[in-house]
Amino acid sequence: MAEEESKLVPAAEEAIVPAGEVSQWLTENGFDHESLAPDVNGVEIIKVAPDFLLPTATALYAYGFNYLQFQGGIDLGPGQDLVSVYHLVKVSDNADKPTEVRVKVFLPRENPSVPSVYWIWKTADWQERESYDMLGIIYEGHPNLKRILMPEDWVGWPLRKDYISPDFYELQDAY
């Protein structure tokens, strides 16, 4: 029995993700978050609750992450969460390799709603609209949240993994 318990300890230790530089800074300044394993390129990934996205994003902007390189959405599968992803970069003069961090917000499939970061990074405008259009994630406070790729009367969210494509879509007023 003691041998079995000792075998379980290393696996538990491997599951703990060490906090990166940005995560440590957020913790020191009282921002609630969770460190996730870095990606294959070593970019730090931070999980934030929807209610804490705006305060955390504002703090990261003040910390120097002045460029939203990418905002997108992920569907983890039928019946699972949707994820709103933000890839932030510190852009500065003479930086050979800028500091990057990725923020993920996990949202319930039934009501995927999160505050818009448009007011912090204007580049979120069309990116949030695309995530809304393709996955149905609602970005509260976005100034013009409407479909950007699909027709305005399209029903459903085409990039959701449980989406069923209609047999046809009749184009009206195509002439």
Q: Do the beta carbons of residue 62 and residue 90 sit within 8 Å?
A: no
**Domain boundaries 21-152, corresponding CATH code:** 3.30.460.80
* Residues of the chain above pLDDT 70, percent: 86
Q: What is d(CA 113, CA 48) in angstroms, rounded to the nearest whole number?
A: 13
Q: What is d(CA 35, CA 25) in angstroms, rounded to the nearest whole number?
A: 12
Which has more confidence, 124 or 13?
124
Written as one letter, the residue type at 13 is: E
Going by pLDDT thresholds of 50, 70 and 90, the confidence category of residue 80 is very high
How is residue 175 written in tokens? 């002439």
Q: What is d(CA 143, CA 70) in angstroms, rounded to the nearest whole number?
A: 19
Q: What is residue 39's three-state secondary structure? A: coil
Going by pLDDT thresholds of 50, 70 and 90, the confidence category of residue 16 is confident
In which element (H, E) is residue 36 found? strand 34-36
Residue 168 pLDDT > 70: no
